[in-house]
Structure 1
């Protein structure tokens, strides 16, 4: 299904350029209000991260919802999964998040949750897009939606996160460094771990509207590594701008990515008898993860890249655990969407239950060397993907790997890029195969 505005995770783009303009946001609020909140007195929750442009889009969306006759409850800065939780807990008809996740401040986006706290289906997004092409018709003045602030949204979400951690356990005695990415979790993240008993060292908790994800958070781990080393922390937790992702750092400074986090949680669930259905990764999940699950007898399936597709496959096969290498982990036995704070708590629970360190738990999985090369596009991705020379290069690389690795070529869902990914047992062979394919992609993409 070809969509005009919605990507793999809502609408996103540079602030001030289509579609991320205030007039578009107003129209989007109106269209979404018409589709998601059809009953009289319907209301939506609107949350945001810490980008300066969030104020502008918050006002525009609220005006659009009001024009559609929908009430708006403003949550202020709150992690994306917090909006999902409160949408369900407060029985709202929809939740809206103003965020561009791990992107820099000059980008922003809008994503939606349904009344169940889950992301919208392709069909619902298509219905919203269809209304975007219609003239905006405002309801009569006595039917306009009103807006109000919910002052205790952060406190409600903090308690929800804490409820995902075992009641018979605490984090007393654990020294934890937390990087909040100067984003939406700058208050909630540190509070959750501190209230569970951990000694916390916090960085990335001074948002100014422009420094979100800037040299911090899950896309920039160097600052967290330094703090873990200098302050002798047991581990580090890195969230992204809207706190739906989590990566970690061991006491020795090694990075723990989403595949390793998924392995640790799955193994813990298996040991306790709580693992349901297959574990779902994506086409980008490391081959080492698949082999590690095979050794444990855990069924593993791959979905298309994007947490929405991981979620769809989990629901289809009755699974409860899935995720992406980037750190977007779904624990459906704890919540409805990816949640960086809750993900970290599940890893910490595994550490407390086993008595082993983060490094020890991750050592059970051996990652294959993986090379990812992003090739920028000047034209349509479909033309590059279909080029005979590109197809031939992929076939040749796969033949050379001869079952000792794999190749993945795909267009980005959010940027004008073709992603070339190769992984194999030998690092030099992996690098050579990726460079070989990327050269052919560049020749066509130029």
Structure 2
């Protein structure tokens, strides 16, 4: 009995999948298109909405222009819906289970990209694009398209920036009678990776706005920051610290001002290069943009400090030093002498020697204080050369601390995106 059932099943399958002739396919083709109008939605009940499912098989990201805010992509759009007028029984059609029609012969959804740049319509019905139909009327439309969408660039964390762009699919006519949905969203199985941009994530959303249904596709792309870090960020950071070396140049050499001005001009060149790479957005302001302005302002202050210190170095000794500068310079000189006296000697002393030295130092300090109390105070003599030395060290420490703190904070915010 089981053998008989198996033979009957094989016979049915063989008869169902028997090859159809050209005339049989032509007759079915003509019979399906009789009284068919491509301008009317293919549903028997015209009050019922038709569901159109849209998926995007992304192939590549061609270009993302952050300045103009245009994202160019290429991929395959897949539309699927059910046509209630193109259904047939394969048993009476010599086993024909699928047919092909062009988009100019049958109804197709009039879908456009709501945030497109140039061409909003995805495609125009023509004889070159075909639709596959099954016996149940399931239509499947697949076509390749290069499309551009508007995407506002967010340059807050440049060059480690991420951008979320959307593809807004909407129906142009029959707004409340065509429902656009997406079951799979953006498919990345055939995606070719971009050398500049990396796809972080993709999402999709079905939205109904008034009478219109929209299929929203979201793609988040992140920049590969290695090249920008090596060619822009690191040179600017290195240039910032090279600028601090100006305080090691002797004031008598006369090269301080020219050195600082050269570095300042180099900063302006890098600033112009950076301005060409980012869009002119007021909100939000990029963290690296703020860092560039701080570095440029710091370089201006360094140049101004060099000019002032160089001018002070030419003061004559008969010109009096202000009391404030005298106190600060004297304190700096005293601290430097203490540090030099506390340096470890080249020969390692024993623990007893170290203890004895400390005791003797304390006794000497006590005697010195007693003598200073008994003797009248003498005015501290400070010359302009010592003032110049003090100002050099002060500017070096202040600018080094501010530059280091600003650079570290900027890099942490950019790398962590917080």
Give TM-score, length-normalised by structure 1. Answer: 0.19
Based on CA coordinates, which of the two structures has the bigger radius of gyration? Answer: 2
- TM-score, normalization by structure 2: 0.20
